[in-house]
Amino acid sequence: MKRTIFSMFFLFLAAPSILAGSDQGARDLYPAAEQQANIFQSDASPFQLDLDFTAQIQVPTSGHLTLKWQAEDRWWRRVTMGDFQQIEIRNGDRLYTKNNAGFTPLRVKELFGLIQFAKTPEGVKLKKVKQRIEEGAEVTCFETERKSSGAIAHDLCINSTSRDIVWDEWKEFAEERRKHEYSSYFDFGRHRYPREMRLLVNGIKGLSAHVNSLETAALDDALLVPPTGALERRQCAGMKHPVAIKTPDPVYPRSAGENGMMGITSAAVTVLADGSIGDVQLIGSATRSMDEATLQALKNWKFKPAMCGSEPVVSDIQVTVNFRLY
């Protein structure tokens, strides 16, 4: 039996939430750890973050990120990775992006999530709490679940004494686990932030990052002027995700099925304000035939568009297609 499994990810961060559960001690420790690590709070001082990273694509590729942050809706970010270069600017309800590839590689998007690890998505429900000793330190581990997104499981471990987040792991669908690991914390104002970060995908290192510097620094307003040719997106509080209403499956390539071949293909998809597809870019490859089948199918998808209040707006999602034989 041939089967394709879809998974969709929305390419903007969800707002922090309050953890639901019956264990009062867990309810206290969990948000306290998030608040301590979250340098992106609304009342935080402006800062500049610089880090080097290595992304595993086909070969290890080095990169650098600089983030100048003043508020959730006022920041400037530049990232380079090999030949790839991108600048992003958030100014009010507008997000401007300019890069030299026409899309943002998956590993770069994952890097953004890695550095903003203390922002838990909405709808997280506490299931279990366990305590154990790891490397001589007592850690408290939480098993949680986000039912609103297809029962996505999330496990998070916190140093019970320092309240540093040691690692968190997302099981986004049956075949894939993403684990973020953090270590070498240092003080930054009233926060503590990790100097070392890693992303493991199914136990294999996909990203490693080292923070070179994190310091208080004012944001120069001149940086908020979008560069010529930048792509504009509207952002808003409470923005509603696009909803898929027509999603034809990719055709399982005959040659792949006959040879027992399976694989995972990922694509970045732009959903226009009328719900149609504006651009599809391959960001994670399986075989050529699977990639082509995925791209062809996605061009025919239809959505109820993302909404800012009553206004439909352009948005971006990431779609992963898992070609499986059963």
Cα–Cα distances in Å, from 124 out to 48, 66, 226? 30, 30, 36
d(CA 230, CA 236): 19
Assess whether 206 and 246 both reside in one domain.
no
Q: Report, as ranges of residue numbers, the positions in the chain whose pLDDT lies below 70.
A: 1-27, 119-124, 146-152, 172-176
Q: Are residues 215 and 261 in the same domain?
A: no
Give the structural domain span for 128. Answer: 8-231
Could you give phi then psi for residue 7, rounded to 5 degrees? -140, 130
Residue 2 lies in a domain: no
Query: Residues 123, 9, 205, 83: is their CA dihedral positive or negative?
Result: negative
pLDDT for position 176: 65
Helices (H) and strands (E) counted in the chain, each on its own, are: 4, 21
pLDDT at site 45: 87
* pLDDT tens track for 31-86: 788 888 899 987 778 999 999 999 998 899 999 999 999 999 999 999 999 999 99
52 and 130 together in one domain: yes
Whose CA is closest to 237, among 136, 190, 307? Answer: 307
125 in the same domain as 12: yes
Cβ proximity of 164 and 155 under 8 Å: no
Is 198 found in the same domain as 259? no
Nearest by Cα to 115 from 169, 194, 179, 54: 194
Residue 210 identity = H
Burial group, residue 252, by CB count within 10 angstroms (0-12, 13-18, 19+): buried
Same domain, 91 and 211: yes
pLDDT at 12: 40
Q: Assign 158 to helix, strand or coil.
A: strand
In this prediction, residue 105 carries a pLDDT of: 85
Three-state DSSP class for 241?
coil
Closest CA to 29 of 122, 138, 179: 138
Last residue in a domain, options 209, 231, 253: 231
Judge if 212 and 81 occupy the same domain.
yes
In this structure, what token pair is assigned to residue 73? 């809706």
Q: Give the end of a domain, one of 174, 206, 231.
A: 231
- pLDDT at position 86: 97
Chain centroid to CA 56: 16
Residues 158 and 279 in one domain: no
What is the number of structural domains in the chain? 2
pTM over 0.85: no
Q: pLDDT of 15-29, one tens digit each?
A: 333 344 445 565 677
Distances (CA, A) of 143 to 18, 127, 199, 230: 15, 5, 19, 41
Residues 215, 245, single domain; the answer is no
Residues 81 and 227 in one domain: yes
